[in-house]
Every structure is written in structure tokens, then in C-alpha cells.
Structure 1
Amino acid sequence: MPRRAPERRSGAVISVAQILLRPLARLLARRTWLGTENLPPRGAVIACGNHSGPFDAIAYGHLLQASGAAPRFLAKESLFRVPVLGGLLRASGQIPVARGTARTARALDAAERALQRGELIMVFPEGTYTRDPHGWPMRPRLGAARLALRTGAPLLPIACWGSAALWPVGAVLPTPIPRAQLTLRVGSPIVPARREGETETQAAARLMAAVMGAITEMLAEIRGETPPSAVHDPRQDSHRPEEGWA
């Protein structure tokens, strides 16, 4: 691979972590990557993926790193308070999101600065693991699209399937047997733009509907199944632990 531009480099912490994580990811799952040619070779990008289990960060990070772009994840702030892990996250430039607090704006500002430097950020627009009973994407939040509209960075939809089987939600560790099939597909970038007469909120809602629609369509192809006609709306759930933007 050609030498990466500075804004696409992973830094020392991630470079060292990959020595362990890449072989581990290959050991735990048979991987299939599709559509990697859709990843813009340079410039700011907001990658958006569905979120179904704890292994997602490793799966998306492996794909993007191997494709030439070191991602900066927007992750819940509680992870940054975990001993050792929190220090590694901060040292590697990941962005904490304090959900449901005034500090949420800090995450948006940090993400915007990263995009202005031409970096790639990775966002889970659903804000938490999907609570759709069959694992389909939920109704998204609008933060990623707002960032795209303010910075001009394209939104890059990515679908991931197999993560929840490999590492079920609530499990302490992955389930290595049977070896999982992990499939990720990168869609075409979506260029942000406001239509005449649209407010930012209206434009953001339209863009996120397009992003999640693309992810759902790719998931349907991967799974060989038809998605539900109605998207699960987490706002109607009685328990919503992920209150906030990301």
C-alpha cells in the first residue's frame, strides 16, 4: 500500500494494537469485504455503520485500516472511564460522547475539527446496539448528517452482518466456536446538500434516511432476507440507556 497521507495514518497506539487485533479478528471470523473501492482515497469522510454488537468497533476498524484510512470513532464516554482502555482510547485520538449532557457539543466540535483536517470519523447513527428484534437498523439520530452539512464531508454507508453472532450483546467475551462469518459492505458515498427551502434539521433527516436506507438495502443483500416495512423507533422503547446525540 502507498504511504498514507498524515490525516489517514493510525498513530503509534493503533499501530501497536493492530499487531494483536488483526490476527485475532482473522482467527475469530471468516471475513468478507465488499465495495471497498467506494472508500474515498483522501479527504474528510463520515463513515456510518449499523451497530449490532460489541465486536463492531473491531470489525469496522479492521476494514477501514486495511483499506487505507485510520478511523476516529465517536464512542460513549463511559468507555473512556474504563482503566487502561480509556487511556488507550484517548491516546489514539478517539472522541468521547457524553450522551444526554451539555458536553455532547464538545464531541461535535472535536469531530468537526477532525473533518476539517481531512480525517475519517466513524459513527454509529443508531446511538446504541440495535433493539430491532431481528437485528435490522433502527431509526437513526441526526448528528452525522449535521456534521456532513456543516463540513461538506460525504456520508459513507457501511453494512456489517455477523458481529452479533460472534460477540452477542451482554456476553463478556466473543464466542469463537463455531467460527463466525463476518461480512461488511461499503456503499457509495452520499454527498450532503440542502435543498431549496429545507432547514438543517429537514436536510439532516433526509440524508440520514438515505444513509440508513442504503445500509438496510446492503444488509438485505448480505442476509438474503427482506427487511421490515417499518423501521424500529427506539424513542418508543420504555428503556433507552443511550440518550444523547451519537
Structure 2
Amino acid sequence: MAVTAVDFDDLPSPARTAIEAETGQILQAETISAGLNSALSVRIHTAAGAVFLKGLRTDHRWAWTQQREADINPYVTPLAPRLLFHVVADGWDVLGFEAIDGHHADYSPGSPDLPKVVDAMRLLGETPCPDIELRRAEQRLAGYVDNPADAEMFKGDALLHTDWNNHNVLVTDDHAHLVDWGWATRGAVWLDPAHWIIWLIAAGHTPAEGEKLVSQVPGWSTAPPAAVDAFAAASSSLWDEIAGNASDGWTSRQRSAARQWCDHRADHA
């Protein structure tokens, strides 16, 4: 089921009323076009300030990610924006977060954002994984490994974000903030740096440069080479599936980046 973007005014009246009960009168609503996992992605302005809204219809197959974000938020602030409210009304599930004035991270070589992203990843690696329901890395990747036993190498007790799309990283003057925690996962601590490598390659880094950059994250040093090889191969298969036969520009770039990294790991095995 694809995510179809909607504006705030497209929400049914009872849902808008329930949101305004939390925020006060909404003076302006700006639709944010960058969201990939939310039908509603809106920055609203009220007399008390700005709030970011993200939402899905309650019958959408990803609606469960809304509750996942609500559950995990107390454990990941201030790395993530603070959740202000969670409203379910008239077929819509909507989260309201404090609005952050920042820009989407630039992952290109030499970007001044890169050290801030490394710092955020380092802080996440030090954050205890909460005792809440989370998907497990070995389960999420089990369908993409050549040997089912390889998935066991992704096991761990670290809290992972897993979706390092640069639109999920908002950079301010001092910090990088992580948003969109619906796919948070429990697994090996080195997996988040591994996920990031593919996005770095897509942004113009070579596979070797991507690996060198993530080596600044302490958790990366715990990664067994064979496990990284298996993850790179699984990620290539995953992005092949995501891109399919009618991929758009960004999925094509990600598939190409995943293949480049997989080939790099195979060449240096």
C-alpha cells in the first residue's frame, strides 16, 4: 500500500479538531514534501510556536510504526525531537513533535555535516536499548542472506535506527537530530554504521571512503569482517527488491550504491 501525501486540510474535521485540542488554534500549516513513510508530513504554526505532524491512516499497513515511534521517543530524546502528543481520531493516527529548525544532512564528501552525524551515531551507540517491543535485525534481514545462518551474525542488544536516509537527519548549528524512528530495531551495534555506508556511497563516497568514515564510530570496530560481508550482500538483495523493475531516481542510486559496496567487500575478501 503506497503512501499518498495529504495536506492538513485534507484530514477529516474530527481529526483536525483532535489535533487542535492539543496544539491550540492552528494559524498556518505547511506540507513537507520530503517524507517517504508518512502520508501526513506537516509543520503547523500556533500562537505557542511550531509543531511537526506526521501521520498515517489507521488502516495503512505501516500504521504500527506510529505507535513504535511513540513508545521509543522517551528513550531517544534529546537525540530525537520530543513527542508532544499522539492522536488517533476518525481513521487517522497522528504524532506531534517539537519542531526543529535545521536542514537535511548533506552526506557528500567534505560536507561539514558529516562529523555531526558521526557524533549522533556515536551517541546512539551509547544509548541503552529499551525493554519495549522492537523488531530484531536478524529477523528483518533473514530473507536476504544467502545462508540462513548468516542472519545470526546480525544479532545484538543495541538500539538501532536503521533508516539513515539523509532526510531523517536534521542538522542544526550544534547537533544532528534523528527523526522517523518507526523502523527502530534491536541488533548488533555495528549495523547502523553499516546502513549508513550505503547512503554515503550514494552521496558520492567510494566504498573505502565510506568504511573509513564510519570507523570513527566506536561500534564499527566490533564488526566481524564476515558479518559485514554478509550484511553488504543482504543489503544489495534488499535494495534490488525495493527498486524492482520500475525504480525512481533515489532507489536506483541506493541499489547501485549497495551493489558497489557488495562488490567492494567481495573483491577484498
Q: TM-score, normalised to structure 2's length?
A: 0.28
Higher relative contact order (Cα pairs below 8 Å, separated by 6+ residues):
1
Larger gyration radius, structure 1 or structure 2: 2
Q: TM-score, normalised to structure 1's length?
A: 0.30
